[in-house]
């Protein structure tokens, strides 16, 4: 599986409006939900799943990159989107630097890659 196979191009955000980690996650989940036609009730649930994962340990690797991810039963297969912040977002990165590129990945709770 290639990253290009799971990224939903219509949900890519060239410049984020949000300026904090939680806002970024919600903005990206909202973009995916709109493209995938998921209900508003699902947005809050999916965003909370991603943020719960983040609370367990940051997905920001350093060098300006974060890859937040979560499993959720409302998602079909593996989907994702990419967003950019030119000003940078505090994401509790390992190198303590702001994040500029975020790749959000969501998977079906019981998805098996073959």
Strand 69-71 and strand 65-66: pairing? unpaired
Residue 72 annotated among the catalytic residues of the structure: no
Looking at residue 77, what DSSP letter applies? S
- Active-site annotation holder among 35, 61, 69, 78: 69
In terms of Cα–Cα distance, which of 32, 15, 28 is closest to 78? Answer: 32
Q: Which residues are catalytically annotated?
A: 69
């Amino acid at each position: 599986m290639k990253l290009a196979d799971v990224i939903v191009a219509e949900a890519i955000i060239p410049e984020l409006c949000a300026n904090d980690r939680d806002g970024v996650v919600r903005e990206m989940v909202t973009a995916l939900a709109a493209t995938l036609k998921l209900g508003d009730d699902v947005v809050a649930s999916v965003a909370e799943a991603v943020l719960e994962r983040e609370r367990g340990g940051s997905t920001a690797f350093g060098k300006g990159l974060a890859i937040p991810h979560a499993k959720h039963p409302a998602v079909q297969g593996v989907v994702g989107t990419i967003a950019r912040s030119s000003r940078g977002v505090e994401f509790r990165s390992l190198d303590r630097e702001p994040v500029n590129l975020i790749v959000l990945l969501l998977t079906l709770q019981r998805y098996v890659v073959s």
